[in-house]
Amino acid sequence: MLKLMRPHQWVKNGFLFMGLIFGHGWSEPALVQAVLLAFAAFCLASSTVYVLNDLHDVAEDRLHPTKRFRPIASGAVSEQQARLLGVVLAAASLLLAWTANPPVAGYVLAYLLLNVAYTLRWKQIVLLDIFCISAGFMLRILAGTDGVDIPPSNWLLFCGLWATLFLGFIKRRAELLEMRGHGADHRKVLGDYSAELLDKLIGITCTGMILSYSLYTMDVDVRRIHDTDDLLFTVPFVIYACFRYLFLLHQETGGGDPSRDLLNDRHILVAGGLWFLVTLYMVA
């Protein structure tokens, strides 16, 4: 049951803390509590989505070289048990979100509905599938800002959009590599993508993410709010982590699971940790 919930994927919900960090909200206990509850709600909501996805894709997963070992596909968890788990997780996520702040519950509900549509239909539509993944991340950012009464920065939203599209296209590229020309047998939409197209889209989104973050650090209002001109010095950490991720994709056949790569690759861990510590020092 725990493996079916994929707790290692909860790291993606770290996007909820961006508003707390860049909005200087860490000194308000009530705000910190609300964001932590929102984070917990999205962890349960994302686990709900993984249960739904595995139930829907069980036949295809049994044809996949690694996904066939997932709990439902392998038979370790019955479909009836999985359905019950999904209902409990969805109800608990909405309850936690409402406790955090009623608008957060709206974002969690929107996230669940988006992923129902994604699982049932939209993930088979080329490009729209990646924009759906990106939208899920943007809802996390909005829940951690607007949902708890932290005004979201336009730069934050813009950079988040580029970053999530980048991760989505890398995921599809890794799936193509893993399936070795038989991607459409596992996921129909992979037949509409090519390595050349995905490499171009990855390059565009990676550039957009780095440039938008760089411009954010140099923005006059941002420098005034954080009372520092030195945020620009955090840009190299972002660039290094992006390039390392591309290296994992092309040289180490990684990139298919961003959560595992972020937690297991020492280079990305160090770059991310240094970015976080330096950023926190500068904005605190």
Q: What confidence tens digit (pLDDT) does each residue in 82-135 have?
A: 999 999 999 999 999 999 999 999 999 999 999 999 998 998 999 999 999 999
Number of compact structural domains in the chain: 2
Q: Which tokens belong to 157?
A: 């939203």
pTM of the model: 0.86
Find the mean pLDDT for residues 9-18: 89
Find the mean pLDDT for residues 244-263: 73
Looking at residue 171, its pLDDT comes to: 85
More confident residue, 262 or 196: 196
Task: Say which CATH number the domain at 118 has.
Answer: 1.10.357.140
Residue 221 has pLDDT above 70, yes or no: yes
Q: Do 199 and 279 share a structural domain?
A: yes
Place of tokens 């962890």: 43
3-state secondary structure 90-156: HHHHHHHHHHHCHHHHHHHHHHHHHHHHHHHCHHHCCCHHHHHHHHHHHHHHHHCCHHHCCCCCHHH
Looking at residue 224, its pLDDT comes to: 84
> pLDDT tier at 253 (50, 70, 90 boundaries)?
low
Q: Do 173 and 139 share a structural domain?
A: no
Q: Do 181 and 48 share a structural domain?
A: no
Q: Do 211 and 157 share a structural domain?
A: yes
Q: Do 85 and 3 share a structural domain?
A: yes
More confident residue, 31 or 23: 31
Q: Do 120 and 61 share a structural domain?
A: yes
CA atoms within 13 A on the CB side of 35: 26
Q: Do 163 and 93 share a structural domain?
A: no
Residue 20 has pLDDT above 90, yes or no: no
Q: Do 160 and 95 share a structural domain?
A: no
Q: Do 242 and 145 share a structural domain?
A: no
Residue 156 has pLDDT above 70, yes or no: yes
Least confident of 131-135, 163-167, 218-222: 218-222
Q: Do 164 and 145 share a structural domain?
A: no
Find the mean pLDDT for residues 29-44: 94
Find the mean pLDDT for residues 40-55: 94
> pLDDT tier at 138 (50, 70, 90 boundaries)?
very high
Tell me if 210 sits within 8 A of 229, measured CB to CB. no
Question: Which residue, of 152, 187, 212, is where some domain finishes?
Answer: 152
How far is the C-alpha of 154 from the C-alpha of 134, rounded, in Å?
Answer: 16
CA atoms within 13 A on the CB side of 25: 23
Residue 255 has pLDDT above 60, yes or no: no
> pLDDT tier at 189 (50, 70, 90 boundaries)?
confident
Find the mean pLDDT for residues 189-196: 87
DSSP 1: -
Question: Which residue, of 126, 152, 178, is where some domain finishes?
Answer: 152
Looking at residue 34, its pLDDT comes to: 93
> pLDDT tier at 181 (50, 70, 90 boundaries)?
low
Q: Do 148 and 166 share a structural domain?
A: no
Q: Do 260 and 159 share a structural domain?
A: yes
Question: Which residue, of 93, 123, 152, is where some domain finishes?
Answer: 152
More confident residue, 34 or 264: 34
Domain of residue 262, residue span: 153-284
Least confident of 42-56, 212-226, 240-254, 268-282: 240-254
